[in-house]
Structure formats: C-alpha cells, structure tokens
C-alpha cells in the first residue's frame, strides 16, 4: 500500500469520487490478486445474475458517455445494431494517440482487469460474441500488463468458455497496432483489425454498429468507457448519475500538460469541474509555471480549437464547450503561457496531423501537407503575408465555411460553435487546420510580425512604367 | 533475411486461430517477424503471405502503412524522441538537437556501430511527463540533455539489456488462450443464431 506514483507517472490522486482510478494507489494494482481483493469481478457477477437486457438498461439509464472523443452514450450505441443479425463483435479502442491525451494507457497499465471486466459486461449486455482488444503498438508495457491479466483471467475462469460456470462464453483477443494515429478512428480501426491499411471507411454505409468488422454489427468502445462498467454494475446507475451533472454524469479522466506547475492526469467530476479549477486549483495543476500569464490552452486534444483565458470558467460539459467554439474531445488540455511562440506551437500540431494523414482523402493528404509547409516557412521567417491568406484558403478547402473558434472580448470576436463542415471522411484533415485557424484568428499579430509584407504596386503605376510616361 | 522459424510458425498459427478471418492476424505476425529478425525481411513477408493466405504484395501493402515496421535493419535500439505539442512546449527540440550532436547523426539515421537509430516521433501519450522519449518503446520521462547522455552511455555499456530488449521485441508477454478455456473463432457466415445467453434469463 503506497501512494507513490512510481508505476503511473502523471496520475495525481485527490479527494474526489474514484470510479476508474480506485486501485491506482496500490503499487500492485495490475495483479489479479489485488483486483480480487478490491471487489474485482463483482460487477461481472452482478451482471450475470440478471438478464442481459436489464444490464443494457442499467448502462442506458446511467448515460455512460463515450470517452473516446465523440461523447456518444455507450448504452445507446449498443442499441443501434440491426435486429437478428449475428454474430456481433466488440472492438475495444486502445489506440490512444490524440496529442495531449493519456488516460487509456494508464487504465491499461494500472488496472487491466477492470478493462477486461468492462469488456465482459459489454459483451454480455449487447450480445457480442467475440471481443478484440486493440492496443496501440507503441505501448509495450500496456500490452504486457493486459496480456498477463488476460492469461490470469482465462486461467481463473473469468474469460472464455462458460464464464463463472454460466452459459455466457466469450473470448477476448489481444491485438497490437503498429503505429498509425488514424487507426484511432473507429472504421480505420476495423480496417486495421481486418489486416488492411488503416484507412477510414465512408459512413454511410459503414456505420460499425450496422456494418463493421467482417461486415457484421460491431460495437467500438473506448477503453475508459468500458472501464466505467464494473463500478456501474456494482453500485447501480443511480449512484453513477449522482456524480456529475444530468447530461454529463460520472467522472472522466483528464490529462493537463504543458506550462502548468503540476501537470498530471486527474479523474474529475464530469460536467462540474471547470478549466479554471483544473489549471489553477491546488488539488489539480496549481497554476501556470513560474506564475506566468496564461496565453491559450487546447481544451480537448490536438484536434480541438483553442481557448483563451476568456473561456476558463466553462465546465467540462459538452453542451457548453461546443457553443463556445471547441470540444472536450478526449480529455486532454495543453497549456501555453505568455512566453509561448504561438506560430511554432501551432506548427507542432499541424505537423503531427500532416504526418498522420492516411492519404485517402485529397483535401487532407494534400492540404495537411500544404498547411505544414506554409506554416514552416512562416515560423522560419521566410514567409510572406500572402502565406497567411494561403493558410486560410487551404484550410477552407478542408473545412468550407466558418470554422469554430472561441469568442474574444479584446479582439471583438464572437464564438463560432463547434462542429465544422468537412470535405474529408474523418477528422484528421480538419484537425490539421484547427491549430492553424485558432492561432491565426486569436494571435494574428504574431504571424504578421514574422512574415515579409510585400507591397503591392498599384496597377496604374505598372501601366505608366511600361509606357514610359512618368506620372 | 529469413522466413519464420518453426517455433514462430507455431505461434503464428496460434494467432491466426484467434480470428474469424486469417488476414486479421497479419499485423500481429508482422510483429513476430520483426521480433525474430529486428526488422521485417522480404522473405518473412513472403512466408507470412503463405501462412495467412494472401499475396506478398498484400502483406507489404499493409505493413508499409504502419510506422513501426522497418524494412531494413535498424539499430539495436530505436530512440524515438517525441516532438508533438506538449513535448515541444517543454523543450523537445533542444533534446533532439542534443541527441543529434551527441550521436553524430541526423534524425532518421543509425549510428555507424549499429547501436542506435534516432527518430523524430509523434505523440507518445505521456504528455504530462514532457519531454519524453522511448527506447524500443520503453518510456523515459521528463528527459534533460544530461539524462539523455547517461541513457546513451548506459545503452552503449549494455547496462539496460534486461530492461530494454533488442528492437523488434515489443511486449515480452504473449497472450495464451488455453485450448480447454477458449471459445474459438468461427467465420461470421457460419453463425446465424443469437448468443445462448440472450434468452431473456440471467446467466448465473
């Protein structure tokens, strides 16, 4: 029993409800012994003691929002499968790679049995007959911990044939990725799981719930979403909805990184905790490093439009963050203090998305690369003022129309609500533009200071000079 | 270099057996090949094509999409320095410059002794521990240039061989499904009934 975070750097405990991180305080939290000693697999027993439909109802009543980015309720998602089409599969999305995000990795490394139990409950409730647990390739420790946990769980009769002696049987197959951000998109994940290049599929017709893995109904759930289920089944949906707000119940894990005094991953109360609490609260990050001024922050992973101090008092509630011009995404906040070189910071994200484009849609493949190249020359000081307009033009071909951004009193800007229109299948293309657009909208002077302004020669002057008549 | 060894063929069949369609086993078996040789050799891809029942071009088509697969030998240690936003804000660029200077190579190349391949990586999901890096996908957090020097010294002196296996070895623990416990994979077209436990009654 220790409270050191030797095995989970980044995680900061606190005096708050713990739904998914309750075992993080133990140094052996990933072992089956610790899991069983701390109410492990009790949620599974509770589930199997009732008909599958009532487990499904319990999850629906709790409104467990998807924690992968889109925030779609898991119980509703499970209900979208077509009637009487079998088999159905569960695919667990553990391909966490959104810039700024890490919670799934900790949940897999620190409490793999909780995830396994969550998978089992989902399979039981939604009639899913095989589970594929896809872990990002670069996460060697998570793969080892989950593999060990699965081996233990199979041996102890929690996974496989006739689980706990019941008629419920399901295999959980561990699958590793091999390094591709876009595979975090659910249809690309399915392509990858089928042994193909990880390129997203067009929706419709390929909504996974109807037409997913091998063309069968497939539920794709995020690791954190599933990790909520054991607690939910043990404590009931009323206890779950008692935490947080009506539209955002429960807790969620949030990683705050960048220029704060104490960066960390926190399990916070959903819908209630504000960005100010997180950035400045003593139990969270404790303020900006060196007591510097906050310049901007990315509220929901690298794909999210940026916020400035004006938006600090917004709570972690999608229905408020969306109209304010951004999204909560995957629960990742990246903080920039007043010393930050904004164009260079935006470039690090745009480079990421340009690099990770799968190449299927032209606006993303070409546009992302253009954005990166143009922004690179602006940052390096060899750009011109025409480049700034070009950035907007390239971005507009990925996302036509108004792009979401935050309001800003000083600049006299009103917020443009999230989401945007897009010309690509998935969100990688628009994500390359999000940092460019936010940075250019909110901090245009920093870009202008770096570029060479080329004076346009008026047409009349050109005409006069060619005819030789001095004016 | 080589086709899969007999021991690895056995593992490959075990993996293939877990999927309703054999092609799904492609990426896990490519990792197995990379574990065997340190990179994915051409002969290995031909062999995998035979095992999985697709063409070698399809194997390469899939493999070449994914960054972790290397098609020519790399250093014993792959040093991936993260450069995405949180790490960049906390000094990743300085760390990369230091690594390039110290190793005498540019990112994307290997030291002449074949010990270290240096790469610029994208977000490694350790953003609060910035700047971070991975050596053969094992993390090092909040790295300073001095700590990077120590790490490189230790790698060269062979002090970290227990903790960090050679490139290609990813997880050191493999999933094993005991035959008597596994449900087994069935091709989807062979199933058209609802699972047994959906009979409206509790399972226990």
Q: How many residues in total does chain B contain?
A: 204
B136 contact residues in A (CB cutoff 8 A): 140
Q: What is the spatial distance between Cα A419 and Cα A276, in angstroms, rounded to a whole number?
A: 23
Q: What is the spatial distance between Cα A257 and Cα B125, in angstroms, rounded to a whole number?
A: 11
Which residues on adjacent β-strands are paired with residue B120? B81
A99 contact residues in B (CB cutoff 8 A): 84-86, 122-123, 127
A265 contact residues in B (CB cutoff 8 A): 128
Q: Which residue of B has its CA nearest to A55?
A: B202
Q: Give the nearest partner residue to B123 out of A52, A99, A265, using CB atoms.
A: A99
| CATH class of the domain defined by B77-156 | alpha beta
**Angle between helix A52-62 and helix A112-126 axes, rounded to 10 deg:** 110
In this structure, the strands spanning B77-82 and B116-121 are parallel
Has the ipTM of the complex gone over 0.90?
Answer: yes
Determine whether the interchain pair A258/B171 forms a contact, defined as Cβ–Cβ distance below 8 Å.
Answer: no
Q: CA-based angle B69:A130:B169, to the nearest 5?
A: 25
**Angle between helix A112-126 and helix A229-241 axes, rounded to 10 deg:** 80
Fold of B6-63: Arc Repressor Mutant, subunit A (1.10.10)
Q: Which residue of A has its CA nearest to B188?
A: A87
How is residue A333 written in tokens?
């906040």
Residue A464, min C-alpha distance to chain B (Å): 51
Q: What is the spatial distance between Cα A430 and Cα A356, in angstroms, rounded to a whole number?
A: 12
Tokens 């020519």, residue located: B72
What is the per-residue pLDDT for A459?
76
Distance from the first to the final alpha carbon of chain B:
53
Q: CB of A336 within 8 A of CB of A258? A: yes
Cis bond leading into A419, ω under 30°?
yes
Q: What is the spatial distance between Cα A180 and Cα A137, in angstroms, rounded to a whole number?
A: 9
What is the per-residue pLDDT for A460?
76
What is the per-residue pLDDT for A391?
97
What is the per-residue pLDDT for A454?
79
Q: What is the spatial distance between Cα A64 and Cα A73, in angstroms, rounded to a whole number?
A: 5
Q: CB of A271 within 8 A of CB of A249? A: yes
A129 contact residues in B (CB cutoff 8 A): 183, 191, 195
How is residue A448 written in tokens?
């202008």
Q: What is the spatial distance between Cα A344 and Cα A351, in angstroms, rounded to a whole number?
A: 10
Q: Give the nearest partner residue to A195 out of B62, B90, B186, using CB atoms.
A: B62
Residues of chain A with pLDDT below 50 are 1-7, 471
Give CA torsion, residues A177, A181, A182, A188, to 10 deg. Answer: 10
Q: pLDDT per position in chain B (204 positions), as tens? A: 589 999 999 999 999 999 999 999 999 999 999 999 999 999 999 999 999 999 999 999 999 999 999 999 999 999 999 999 999 999 999 999 999 999 999 999 999 999 999 999 999 999 999 999 999 999 999 999 999 999 999 999 999 999 999 999 999 999 999 999 999 999 999 999 999 999 999 998
Please state the three-class secondary structure of chain B as a single string.
CCCCCHHHHHHHHHHHCCCCCHHHHHHHHHHHHHHHHCCCCHHHHHHHHHHHCCCHHHHHHHHCCCCCCCCCCCCCEEEEEECCHHHHHCCHHHHHHHHHHHHCCCCCCECCCCCEEEEEECCCCCHHHCCCEEECCEEECCCCHHHHHHHHHHHHCCCCCCCCCCCCCCCCCCCCCCCCCCCCCCCHHHCCCCCCCCCCCECC
What is the per-residue pLDDT for A471?
45
The residues, any chain, with a CB within 8 Å of residue A317's CB and separated by 6 or more, are A245, A247, A248, A270, A271, A328
Determine whether the interchain pair B203/A137 forms a contact, defined as Cβ–Cβ distance below 8 Å.
Answer: no
The listed CATH number (3.30.70.2660, 2.60.40.10, 2.40.50.140, 3.40.50.11540) that belongs to domain A32-241: 3.40.50.11540
Going B45 to B48 to B53 to B59, the CA torsion angle's sign is: negative
How is residue B198 written in tokens?
């959906």
Give CA torsion, residues A432, A437, A440, A441, to 10 deg. Answer: -160
B13 touches chain A (CB under 8 A): no
Determine whether the interchain pair B183/A105 forms a contact, defined as Cβ–Cβ distance below 8 Å.
Answer: no
Residues 173-202 of B with CB under 8 A from A: 173-178, 180-186, 188, 191-198, 200-202
| CATH 3.40.30.10 domain residues, chain B | 77-156
Q: Which residue of B has its CA nearest to A263?
A: B128
Residue B27, min C-alpha distance to chain A (Å): 6
What is the per-residue pLDDT for A4?
41
Q: What is the spatial distance between Cα B44 and Cα B51, in angstroms, rounded to a whole number?
A: 10
Residue B88, min C-alpha distance to chain A (Å): 7
Cis bond leading into B131, ω under 30°?
yes
Determine whether the interchain pair B204/A45 forms a contact, defined as Cβ–Cβ distance below 8 Å.
Answer: yes
Q: Which residue of B has its CA nearest to A56?
A: B198
Q: CA-based angle A425:A430:A435, to the nearest 5?
A: 160
**Angle between helix A362-379 and helix A342-356 axes, rounded to 10 deg:** 150
How is residue B103 written in tokens?
């190793």
Q: What is the spatial distance between Cα B107 and Cα B119, in angstroms, rounded to a whole number?
A: 5
| CATH 1.10.10.1590 domain residues, chain B | 6-63
In this structure, the strands spanning A264-269 and A294-298 are unpaired
B28 contact residues in A (CB cutoff 8 A): 175-176
Which residues on adjacent β-strands are paired with residue A89? A130, A218
Tokens 């409730």, residue located: A125
Q: Which residue of B has its CA nearest to A261?
A: B128
Determine whether the interchain pair A99/B127 forms a contact, defined as Cβ–Cβ distance below 8 Å.
Answer: yes
A154 contact residues in B (CB cutoff 8 A): 176-178, 181-182
The CA–CA distances, whole Å, from A452 to A259, A345, A393, B125 equal 30, 20, 19, 37
Tokens 């088999």, residue located: A87
B174 contact residues in A (CB cutoff 8 A): 147
Determine whether the interchain pair B186/A87 forms a contact, defined as Cβ–Cβ distance below 8 Å.
Answer: yes
Domain range summary for chain A, segments of one domain joined by +: 32-241, 251-448
Look at residues B65, B117, B129, B127 and name the one whose alpha carbon lies nearest to residue A348. Answer: B127
Going A418 to A67 to A140 to A174, the CA torsion angle's sign is: negative
The CA–CA distances, whole Å, from A291 to A260, A261, A334 equal 9, 8, 17
Distance from the first to the final alpha carbon of chain A:
88
Residue B6, min C-alpha distance to chain A (Å): 22
Tell me how far the alpha carbon of residue B49 is from its chain's centroid: 19
Fold of A251-448: Ubiquitin-like (UB roll) (3.10.20)
Q: Could you give phi then psi for residue B200, rounded to 5 degrees?
A: 85, 0
Q: What is the spatial distance between Cα B116 and Cα B152, in angstroms, rounded to a whole number?
A: 9
Q: Which residue of B has its CA nearest to A12?
A: B128
On the question of a common fold for A32-241 and A251-448, the answer reads: no
Q: Which residue of B has its CA nearest to A8?
A: B126
């Amino acid at each position: 029993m220790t409270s050191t975070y030797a095995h989970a750097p980044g995680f900061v405990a606190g005096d708050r409800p713990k739904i998914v991180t309750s075992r993080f305080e133990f140094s052996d939290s990933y072992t089956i012994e610790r899991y069983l000693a701390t109410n492990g697999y009790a949620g599974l027993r509770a589930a199997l003691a009732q008909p599958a439909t009532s487990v499904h109802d319990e999850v629906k009543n709790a409104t467990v929002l998807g924690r992968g980015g889109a925030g779609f309720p898991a119980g509703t998602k499970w209900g979208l499968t077509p009637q009487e089409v079998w088999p159905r599969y569960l695919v667990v999305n553990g391909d966490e790679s959104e810039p700024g995000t890490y919670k799934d990795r900790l949940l897999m490394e620190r409490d793999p049995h909780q995830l396994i139990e969550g998978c089992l409950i989902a399979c039981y409730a939604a009639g899913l007959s095989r589970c594929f647990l896809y872990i990002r390739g670069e996460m060697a420790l998570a793969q080892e911990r989950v593999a060990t946990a699965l081996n233990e769980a199979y041996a102890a009769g929690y996974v496989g044939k006739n689980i706990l002696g019941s008629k419920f049987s399901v295999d959980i197959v561990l699958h590793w990725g091999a390094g591709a951000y876009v595979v975090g998109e659910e249809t690309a994940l399915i392509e990858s799981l089928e042994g193909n290049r990880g390129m997203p599929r067009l929706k419709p017709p390929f909504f996974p719930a109807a037409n997913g893995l091998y063309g069968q109904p497939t539920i794709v759930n995020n690791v954190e979403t599933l990790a909520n289920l054991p607690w939910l089944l043990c404590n009931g949906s009323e206890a779950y909805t008692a935490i947080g707000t009506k539209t955002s119940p429960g807790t969620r894990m949030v990683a705050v990184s960048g220029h704060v005094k104490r960066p960390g991953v926190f399990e916070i109360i959903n819908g209630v905790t504000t960005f100010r609490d997180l950035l400045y609260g003593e139990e969270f990050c404790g303020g900006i490093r060196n007591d510097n001024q906050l310049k901007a922050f990315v509220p929901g992973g690298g794909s999210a439009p940026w916020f400035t101090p004006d938006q600090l008092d917004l709570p972690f509630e999608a229905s408020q963050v969306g109209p304010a011009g951004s999204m909560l995404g995957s629960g990742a906040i990246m903080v920039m203090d007043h010393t930050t070189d904004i164009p260079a910071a935006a470039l690090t994200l745009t480079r990421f998305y340009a690099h990770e484009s799968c190449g299927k849609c032209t606006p993303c493949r070409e546009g992302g690369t253009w954005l990166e190249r143009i922004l690179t020359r602006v940052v390096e000081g060899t750009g011109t003022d025409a480049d700034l307009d070009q950035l907007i033009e390239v971005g507009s071909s990925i996302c036509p129309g108004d792009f979401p951004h935050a309001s800003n009193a000083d600049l006299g800007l009103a917020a443009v609500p999230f989401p945007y229109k897009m010309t690509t299948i998935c969100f990688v293309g628009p994500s390359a533009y999000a940092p460019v657009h936010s940075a250019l909208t909110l901090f245009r002077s920093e870009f202008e200071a770096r570029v060479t302004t080329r004076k346009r020669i008026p047409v009349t002057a050109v005409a006069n000079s060619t005819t030789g008549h001095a004016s | 270099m080589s086709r899969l060894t007999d021991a690895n063929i056995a593992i490959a069949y075990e993996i293939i057996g877990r999927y309703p369609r054999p092609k799904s086993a492609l990426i896990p078996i490519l990792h197995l090949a990379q574990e065997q040789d340190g990179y994915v050799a051409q002969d290995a891809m031909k062999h995998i094509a035979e095992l999985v029942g697709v063409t070698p071009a399809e194997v390469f088509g899939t493999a070449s999409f994914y960054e972790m697969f290397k098609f020519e030998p790399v250093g014993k240690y792959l040093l991936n320095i993260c450069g995405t936003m949180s790490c960049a804000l906390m000094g990743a660029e300085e760390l990369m410059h230091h690594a390039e200077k110290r190793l005498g190579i540019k990112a994307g190349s290997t030291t002449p002794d074949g010990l270290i391949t240096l790469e610029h990586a994208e977000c490694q999901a350790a953003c609060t521990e910035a700047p971070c890096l991975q050596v053969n996908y094992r993390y090092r957090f909040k790295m300073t240039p001095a700590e990077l020097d120590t790490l490189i010294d230790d790698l060269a002196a062979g002090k970290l061989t227990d903790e960090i296996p050679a490139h290609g070895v990813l997880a050191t623990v493999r999933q094993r499904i005991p035959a008597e416990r596994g449900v087994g994979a069935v091709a989807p077209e062979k199933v058209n009934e609802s699972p047994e436990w959906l009979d409206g009654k509790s399972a226990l």
